[in-house]
Amino acid sequence: MTSKSEEPTIRPVYKVYKRRFWGLAQLVLLNIVVSWDWLTFSSISSTAADYFEVSEGAINWLSTGYLFAFCVASPFVIWVLNKGGPKPAIITTATLLLVGNWLRYAGTRANGGIFGLAMFGQFVIGLAQPFCLCAPTRYSDLWFTDRGRTSATAVASLANPLGAALGQLVDSEWVTKPSDIPNMVLYISVIATIASIPSFFLPAAPPTPPTASSEAPRTPLIPATRELLGTLEFWLILVPFSVYVGFFNSVSSLLNQILEPYGFSETDAGIAGAILIVVGLVVSAIVSPLTDRFKHYLGSIRILVPIIVASYIGLIFAPASPAGIAPSYVVMALMGASSFALLHTVLEYLVELTYPFSPEIGSTICWTGGQLLGACFILIQDALKAGKNASPPSNMRNALIFSCVVSAAAAPFPLCLGLFGRDVQRRRLDIDIGVELQPRNERTPGSTAGETKP
């Protein structure tokens, strides 16, 4: 007979399931479509203005209002993801996407185009975006292990700019004259409908958790939010994330207006937008598995942030280059590669730093900051557009200088992570490998600033 102290300890069994890829694929689809909807009119802004008989500034509001809608929905997104998990958020996305797309189609088709109705449909789609864009970190935390979480977050999050690339490239091919716009919106609405249907049939959660950190209790929503907003490291991430996402949104929305004064066509702008995103996706496909393997989040951030700033400097000079469109393509490739590689790295690093807070709290606040600043930047840069008598007329050089200055001002924030005696720990990874969770900002023996050893 063995004593109680000699009884073998039953270790929990953690398992991942192949069905996790179905939900990931659906998040990818929804993020593609919702972002395609966002930039539907951006690459054809002058043609859309002719169709609706409004100014290009009014067409910019189709993108700007979409971003403000994101901010309106964000508190509900945090609550839905925190209380119900990814599935209710995915279903909400699909429902709003269906309603918004068909309202928008009605606005383009009825009476030769009703701009107000099209704007309302765009706003409804904007309400859908945060439910799928903020879900990837929560989904990867629920379904994946530390060897796949960063890649899963990258695939789902970067599907959003992939949709933007499709919008930049395909829409300019579908629309060659104002009368083509209703058919273009119809095609997108059909695609959105097909992409939304599987959302209602996904499993809500895996039968068993994939890791120890997945089943550990999380800090309740209100205390977690309060403590998060009082954490210095969160602000060192929130500020640059919001600025760089905001400028990515504004540049994507205004790209046609940035290039058009120098004699480039809407098709050229569409190709530039596609290069921005496709190059970023390719680089992210290389970087995210390496990040999953080596977990060098902080080192990657310190390398990528200066490259992003350099790309905004280059954007000031590229459109006016005597070499034609090629320099703009190169700058777009550099901006896309650095921005996309940084995106999923920062999102996963934020989850590591803020554990045991639920992942959607920090990621939703960061995305909201990016969308809010994106809307503000579009309005500011549109106001900075040169007049008709400038050389060239209506150029956006002052707007691009503004983006460069603000981007450079945000760069020191993430570069300060782990400095000045503050130790930042990968807290979720510590739980997964059996290390006792340390109090925040207390240095553990043998750790290096900013990175603890797995």
DSSP 395-426: --HHHHHHHHHHHHHHTHHHHTTT-TT-----
| Percent of the chain with pLDDT strictly greater than 70 | 90
- Give the up-direction half-sphere exposure of residue 66: CA atoms within 13 A in the CB hemisphere: 34
Least confident of 133-142, 188-197, 251-260, 436-445: 436-445
Q: What pLDDT score does 239 carry?
A: 95
| Residues 6+ away with beta carbon under 8 Å from 46 | 56, 256, 260, 266
Return the bridge partners of 451, or none.
Answer: 448
Looking at residues 57-69, what average pLDDT do you find? Answer: 85
Rounded to a whole number of angstroms, the distance between the first and last alpha carbons of the chain is: 39
* Domains delineated in the chain: 16-432 (1.20.1250.20)
User: pLDDT class for 434, splitting at 50, 70, 90?
Assistant: low
Q: What pLDDT score does 448 carry?
A: 40
Q: What pLDDT score does 10 carry?
A: 57
User: pLDDT class for 436, splitting at 50, 70, 90?
Assistant: low
Residue 383 pLDDT exceeds 70 = yes
Residue 234 pLDDT exceeds 50 = yes
Q: What pLDDT score does 91 carry?
A: 96
Contact criterion met (CB below 8 Å) for 106 and 121: yes
Which of 178-192, 246-260, 419-433 shows the highest mean pLDDT? 178-192
Q: What pLDDT score does 181 carry?
A: 92
Q: What pLDDT score does 354 carry?
A: 84
Residue 85 pLDDT exceeds 60 = yes
- Give the up-direction half-sphere exposure of residue 231: CA atoms within 13 A in the CB hemisphere: 22
pTM of the model: 0.82
Residue 18 pLDDT exceeds 60 = yes
State the Cα–Cα distance between residues 58 and 120, nearest whole angstrom.
13
Q: What pLDDT score does 106 carry?
A: 95
Give the pLDDT confidence of 25-60 residue by residue, as tens digits: 999 999 999 988 887 887 788 889 999 988 888 888
User: pLDDT class for 281, splitting at 50, 70, 90?
Assistant: confident
Which H or E element spans position 350?
helix 326-354
Looking at residues 357-368, what average pLDDT do you find? Answer: 91
Structure token pair of residue 304: 């990528």
User: pLDDT class for 306, splitting at 50, 70, 90?
Assistant: very high
- pLDDT: which is higher, 2 or 12: 12
Return the bridge partners of 448, or none.
Answer: 451
Contact criterion met (CB below 8 Å) for 425 and 353: yes
Q: What pLDDT score does 150 carry?
A: 81
DSSP state of 148: T
Cα–Cα distance list, 128 to 36, 74, 133, 140 (Å): 13, 10, 9, 20
- pLDDT: which is higher, 138 or 438: 138
Residue 447 pLDDT exceeds 80 = no
Looking at residues 328-332, what average pLDDT do you find? Answer: 95
Contact criterion met (CB below 8 Å) for 3 and 169: no
Looking at residues 96-104, what average pLDDT do you find? Answer: 95
Looking at residues 397-411, what average pLDDT do you find? Answer: 95
Q: What pLDDT score does 336 carry?
A: 92
Q: What pLDDT score does 421 carry?
A: 65
Looking at residues 401-405, what average pLDDT do you find? Answer: 96
Give the pLDDT confidence of 104-120 residue by residue, as tens digits: 999 999 888 899 999 99
Structure token pair of residue 45: 């802004």
Q: Which residue has the tokens 């069905």?
A: 19
User: pLDDT class for 446, splitting at 50, 70, 90?
Assistant: very low
| Percent of the chain with pLDDT strictly greater than 90 | 46
Q: What is the mean pLDDT of the chain?
A: 86
